[in-house]
Structure 1
């Protein structure tokens, strides 16, 4: 089973958003041009939503409103996902993680940089991620957002990397890491262990 979809018509005002994203991914080596894939999915652009703010309406009433911080370029992988054998690796329950975290007075948080992009795709499967846009067709070398098995794959990798630390000195939910301890010194020591593990496995973190 394969599926080749045509590109979707983009709002002219959004073409530059797509072009800049393509150039950025090409420059980082995350995507590459491809012309003969049997799987092609279309690009679409959605609003990137931020936090909640409060604004006044015409009646001078305060209304909670979600801010818009820009645009996000996405790939519509629905047809590819429909043909994909599903990975049922479990994701953690956030409430249970918070309960364990609440039992410790000292904690800190780390955030993985461009989470999914840190997972390489096997060369034989890269062409399946091919997408089409006004500037050509491209495939991913790294796991993109939108694949149905991406969350399970990423969580499995993180569990493998930190298996001996999880539920003892840290919690992991996708690319969000919580490190804790019963004292400042122990929390700092645990943080050092986590950072050393990241360095050993080439796992990149955000600065802030």
Structure 2
């Protein structure tokens, strides 16, 4: 019998040992004792409100009714709840302190309970067992077929000093296991100097399981630690037969990285800072395991993605040529830019010059600039090359058709879009043709060293470059439209493999547009 305060008595004539429980708001009779009451004498049960035990678990209730109870020489008619509990009958605060019997005085020094003027002998008086509910200290996600170590918290109360000096056995809650379909190992813990503790859980299913913060995962019970040597416990004649076996070397368990799963808030899926938003946006519907694989992929190819606006690649696979034949240079005067955009024009020119996309020029050619306001209210600077374009022979380079694209991706479930960072600006202009890209501003004459927007055959050059880079992948694992790439796949693993192959050939991508 566990340590506690007990009194002998009767319920409807059936022998009962009452457990005095000042933490119970209701007096509760066990189902076993209730079934021992003769059927004709057994009270009819009514519905009752839910109850929880000391660990926070729901108690299986049968109902409530008025019972005739006897404590010592005291007879009381009291409303008692019938439930599936281990104790025969918990004597709750409703009797110990309520109108039906109380207030009661439990005198441990004398071994009696005084209730309604009657002294009731206590048959056993010892320090009561400390039981606390155990809750998840944070929000955790356990992937399928995985074992994990999670942080748990043992409920504290006013007896913190007593609690902190105890070792506890943490055992899983049946309700928690039933609701989450996972297993939890029982363990012994010492909570001194520890706010949270570790518990090991196992998810044997293929689906991930989410454990929310403050979920009751089990109960913690105090215990007495008995230290005995094997020599004291066993027959001396048998010890010599096992002495060799007993010489075992024990060590403390080590926590291995693959045994642990970090909580969702701390998330160990680390990627470089310039890829954090990309990881979050592309893995919203993925499991933790899948998100981890995406994080590893991004970390592996982190150099493929631009870290800032000046991090622009430059290819050596193609050059953009501007063949104007024997046409004479065209020189157009600079166009007036609206005052509202004057400062932005200056900043854009300075930035392009710093990025080595344009340079000062003394070319005989000259075009005018055009400022275009985009949907996001940002501006983009274009050059009006219409006059120069009239001298250039257009290339008949094919661009992917809609029907061909739809046929290629049929049956695919996973898609990833990749957008080059300033794709045109990653293509160099043939050195002899750079002067033909010159444009006039009020700040002077400049020319492009990289492919500018607005030139005939610019899109053809870009498409040709991408098809060279992704040769053998187009139509099979990805689609190409100028500087945009779509990688597709029917399964996550297939898609990840295809994406890895594509990223291995590309530089530089813009994370915000992927």
- With normalisation by structure 1, the TM-score equals 0.85
Q: Return the alpha-carbon distance in structure 2 between the equivalents of residues 153 and 5 of structure 1.
A: 26
Decide which of 493, 504, 507 is 1:185's aligned counterpart.
Answer: 493
For the aligned residue pairs, the C-alpha RMSD in angstroms reads 1.2
Q: How does 1:14-163 map to 2 (within 5 A)?
A: 14-35=341-362, 37-50=363-376, 69-163=377-471
Shift of 1:170: 0.7
Query: What are the Cα deviations for residues 156-189 of structure 1, in whole angstroms up to 9, with x where unaligned?
Result: 1111111200111111111111111221111101
Q: Return the alpha-carbon distance in structure 1 between the equivalents of residues 367 and 375 of structure 2.
A: 24
SS at match of 2:387: helix
Shift of 1:111: 1.0
Q: Return the alpha-carbon distance in structure 2 between the equivalents of residues 77 and 49 of structure 1.
A: 23
Q: Return the alpha-carbon distance in structure 2 between the equivalents of residues 88 and 15 of structure 1.
A: 38
SS at match of 1:147: coil
* 1:6 aligned onto 2:333: yes
Map of 2:511 onto structure 1? 207
Query: What are the Cα deviations for residues 15-64 of structure 1, in whole angstroms up to 9, with x where unaligned?
Result: 112101100000001100012x12100112122125xxxxxxxxxxxxxx
SS at match of 1:8: coil
Query: Of the two, which has the highest radius of gyration?
Result: 2
Q: Which has the higher helix share?
A: 1
Shift of 1:7: 0.6
SS at match of 1:80: helix
Runs of 5+ unmatched residues, structure 1: 51-68
Query: Which runs of 4 or more aligned residues in structure 1 lie more than 4 Å from their structure 2 counterparts after TM superposition?
Result: none
Q: Return the alpha-carbon distance in structure 2 between the equivalents of residues 95 and 20 of structure 1.
A: 42
> Higher relative contact order at CA 8 Å, sep ≥6: structure 1 or structure 2?
1
Q: Return the alpha-carbon distance in structure 1 between the equivalents of residues 410 and 443 of structure 2.
A: 49
- With normalisation by structure 2, the TM-score equals 0.35
SS at match of 1:4: coil
Runs of 5+ unmatched residues, structure 2: 1-326
Q: Return the alpha-carbon distance in structure 1 between the equivalents of residues 406 and 484 of structure 2.
A: 13
* 1:170 aligned onto 2:474: no
